Amino acid sequence: MFSIGEVSKKYQLSQDTLRYYERIGLIPPVSRNEGGVRRYTEEDCDWVEFIKCMRNAGLSIESLIEYVNMFQKGPSTIMNRKQLLIDEREKLVQRINEMKEVLQRLDGKIDGYEERMLEKEQPISNK
C-alpha cells in the first residue's frame, strides 16, 4: 500500500491531480484506512500510470472517463473499449504526423541559420 505522497512522487503528479482524477472517475475509487487516508494498491498505481501515459499522449479526460466507466462494466464492453482506443490512436497518429511536419520545417529553418543571419545582418552592421 502506498500513500498519496508516494504515488505523487512516483508518477510526478501532484496530490491535487490524483484527488481530482479520483473525484471525476478517471481512476477508480482508492481505498482508505480507518483515518480516511488514501492507501493506493498496486492496481491503483497501474491505473495512475495508464492515465498519465494516455494523458501524455493527448487523450482527453472525457475519453478516459468513458474508458474507465466501460472497464468497470466488465467484459461486455471489451469491443467498445478497443474501438475507443483505436479512435484515439488514429488521432494520435495524425498529431504525430503534424508534429513531424513542424519538425521538418524547424530543421530547415535551423540548417544554415548562422550563414543566412550573417548575410542579412552584414549590411546593417557595416552602417
Phi-psi category of residue 46: left, alpha or beta, with phi > 0 → left and psi -120 to 50 → alpha: alpha
- Fold classification of 4-125 is Multidrug-efflux Transporter Regulator; Chain: A; Domain 2 (1.10.1660)
Rounded Cα distance between 25 and 65, Å, is 6
Domain regions of the chain by residue span = 4-125
Rounded Cα distance between 11 and 3, Å, is 12
pLDDT, tens digit, for every residue of 73-122?
999 999 999 999 999 999 999 999 999 999 999 999 999 888 888 887 77
| Cell digits of residue 78 | 471489451
What dihedral angle (degrees, nearest 10) is formed by the CA atoms of 90, 94, 99, 101? Answer: 140
pLDDT, tens digit, for every residue of 10-49?
999 999 999 999 999 899 899 999 999 999 999 999 999 9
Question: Which amino acid does the sequence have at 31?
Answer: S
Q: Return the pLDDT at 118.
A: 80
pLDDT at position 123 over 90: no
